[in-house]
Amino acid sequence: MPVALITGGSAGLGLALATALAGRDDWDLLLDARGRPALDAAARLGPRVVTVPGDVTDEAHRAELLEHAKGFGRIDLLVNNAGALGPSPLPRLSEYPLPELESVLRTNVIAPLALIQLALPLLTRTGGTIVNITSDAAVEPYPGWGGYGASKAALDQAGAVLAAELEGTGVRVYGFDPGDLRTAMHQNAFPGEDISDRPEPATAVPALLHLVESTPRAPSGRYRAADLTAGAR
């Protein structure tokens, strides 16, 4: 049975992906998030779901996640989905509080890389897949999105270099930009605004699964849900 480790699996895109995989009954799932009630609810998605509460920036928590994965004996899919937006409303870079920037970088860049480092022996054994959830803010200079965007750009570049370094190992490294989604993070980016026109997170899942499961396997690289949607139908 393949094993997927999905960070931030209690809400938004992570929960939507976990719900889809749990519904298929052919994946063991390992999910984390900081908040207990929502993660406990995610644990009830199915009998093959294991939840580990904690913060991805916490080294001990990451080690605990890997201990669980070792219990399964494998990792086939690592989805670095948990992310930090930074302060809301989004500050301009000229006034960005630097401790907040450090925190965003810890969550969006350091923690995903640390998890990849820990998971690589298991991922290499299975010829597994790493998905780093990225954003158009990594490539577009939207005012206010500098901290978050710089962190996602760094995540993209780390993924690209890893892909080059892992050439020939069978491991794929994808950046996946889901597009705008109606989630708590998105609402925080647009405080007080009506975001009901944004698509539900589940709408991005078919494109993500299409990327992960395509045969022959898609080359490592950066992909947008919008570009994958036709193939995912």
Write out the residues near ligand NAP by the rule CB under 6 A.
Answer: 7-8, 10-14, 32-35, 38, 55-57, 81-84, 107, 133, 135, 178, 180-181, 183-186, 201
Locate 35 and state its tokens.
Answer: 């908040």
Q: In which order are the strands placed within the sheet that holds 221-224?
A: 49-53, 28-33, 3-6, 77-80, 129-133, 172-177, 221-224
Nearer to ligand NAP, 138 or 163 (CB): 138
Nearer to ligand NAP, 170 or 221 (CB): 221
The least distance separating ligand NAP from the CB of residue 197, rounded to whole angstroms, comes to 12
Nearer to ligand NAP, 106 or 125 (CB): 106
**Continuous H helices in 44-95:** 59-72
The least distance separating ligand NAP from the CB of residue 217, rounded to whole angstroms, comes to 23
The least distance separating ligand NAP from the CB of residue 180, rounded to whole angstroms, comes to 4
Q: What distance lies between CA 7 and its chain's CA centroid?
A: 6
The least distance separating ligand NAP from the CB of residue 226, rounded to whole angstroms, comes to 11
User: How many alpha carbons fall within 13 Å on the CB side of residue 170?
Assistant: 11
The least distance separating ligand NAP from the CB of residue 142, rounded to whole angstroms, comes to 12
55 Cβ neighbours under 8 A, 6+ residues apart: 34, 61
Q: Output the residue with the shortest Cβ distance to ligand NAP.
A: 12
Nearer to ligand NAP, 170 or 190 (CB): 190
The 8 Å CB, 24+ separation contacts for 63-67 are 63/118, 65/5, 65/30, 65/32, 65/115, 65/118, 66/118, 66/119
Nearer to ligand NAP, 83 or 147 (CB): 83
